[in-house]
Structure 1
Amino acid sequence: MIIPVDSPQMWRYRIKPNLNGSNNSRSRDRRIPTNPEFNHQSLKDIQSLFPQDDNHNHNSNTTQNEPSSPSQKSVFQRVHLANKITRAFSRPKPEPQENVVQVNKSTPACDQSETFEITRKSIKSEPKVKVPGGDKRVVVYMTSIRAVRSTFEACKTVRSILQGFRVPVDERDLAMDSAFSDEIRKIMAQIGHGYNGKRVELPRVFIGGRYIGGADEVLELHEMGELKKFMAGLPAATPGVCKSCGDFRFNLCLECNGSHKCHLEDGGFTTCMECNENGLIRCTSCLCD
């Protein structure tokens, strides 16, 4: 059916009322919209035309139909759910509360003072031992090899602490002379801390012929201020660097020039008896200080 352009059915809502007020009921019915709330000029707010009851019924029907047709989960949701299940089964079971023991890492001050007091008394009870050349100085048996890092760091820490007191310190490096290794074994066996064949843990410290201990004992005495009391009877160290060895404690052997071998008249070689296996001789100036 083709509606003419000038047909009143196309412009029925725009017909002006008669000035006389005598409009017929037919034209009035055409002007009145079917929905009283329809007062919009466009259809962009058409959703507001639907009654609230229809919306409520639609939502209830949708809610009832959801269990019957569940939505299919995406791939990412499936992976996330699988990871959660895996973590839940791989997580270790928590231990019962009564079996968990709380460990207090911080030691009370009273316990520390008791430990320091026991250490100080045990050191004072140690009898004096005969350390070669160690009556008026501090003797430290240490190593300069970095193969075992913990041992090297302990020796380095003890050396720095002892050098701060400005007293004569005789550093006997077992890596420079193997005779020091036999010497410390005999001394430790003499005071009852081992036997000749036992390996000695380094460093080992002796002050005025009295055995102090290792790195732990030196650190404890230094922290509690007791280490300087053991240094009271020692003379002051000579300032400066040794002019003979440069504080290396050893000089090159002049008999073999550090080769540890001497030439014979018949063209052969013999072991040098003046130096150690490294071709070194202990500095006499450092021993006299």
Structure 2
Amino acid sequence: MAAEVVSRARCFGGEQRVLRHRSAETGTEMRFAAFLPPRALDGTKVPVVWFLSGLTCTEENVTVKAGAQRVAAELGLLLVAPDTSPRGEGVPDDPAGAYDFGLGAGFYVDATEEPWARHYRMRSYIERELPALVAAELPAELGRQGIMGHSMGGHGALTIALRNPGRFAAVSAFAPISSPMRCPWGEKALSGYLGPDRAPWRDYDATALIEDGARLPDLLVDQGMADGFLANQLRPELLEEACGKAGIPLTLRRQEGYDHSYFFIATFIEDHLRWHAARLGAP
């Protein structure tokens, strides 16, 4: 189904849009944000950078808080930010109402356990359905793609890139969940969506994928050292160890005094966009 434009606004010479469509994968209406740089407004195709958001977020958080549009306009990058989970009538949520499972916490997996399996298909939505829709509806050059994300979305960006070798010329993350199999957020999500057998979990753990042979050309990660989730949820040292053993060039920048918020992301988003542009051949 074609996407419907919910809103549009001029921004740094380009246009910020929010779109919605009916998803075959999730069985729900889904929304995503797309920033078109000035050179794309006449239909000229431009490189695409995907931003996957973290727990509790929608497509709105990065759109209004990160301040990415100015640099994306300069670099000629199309920024696409999907929602983090299916939503709507009939979509199950965490029975206890917790923030780290269910609505807003899809973890970019294809769930296999009930009652999650019908709607929680964020892996297939992000890997297959949404790119096809974006290619059909927007001036996106899918031969030049980058992907980044924050926290749960950092986990999503890393695992999607590792599972799809050659698709993304640039990969980066802000405070990613480095190993969901080894942190409370991930153990809750993966056991709930996929069941108790830990073998299928490896498809959704960046360190496990690297251990199993998946590779990236290089990787940029920023991590705030005042992040309250650093020690028990994010564990960047596990990603550092895995990349070191695999020979993956990792630029891990430990940023003193920065926390987990969008103030942190807004501070370093320009660096990430320029990292992507250099690898995507953007001007």
TM-score scaled by structure 2? 0.23
Structure richer in strand, relative to its length: 2
Of structures 1 and 2, the one scoring higher in RCO (CA 8 A, sep 6+) is 2
- TM superposition score normalised by structure 1: 0.22
Larger radius of gyration: 1
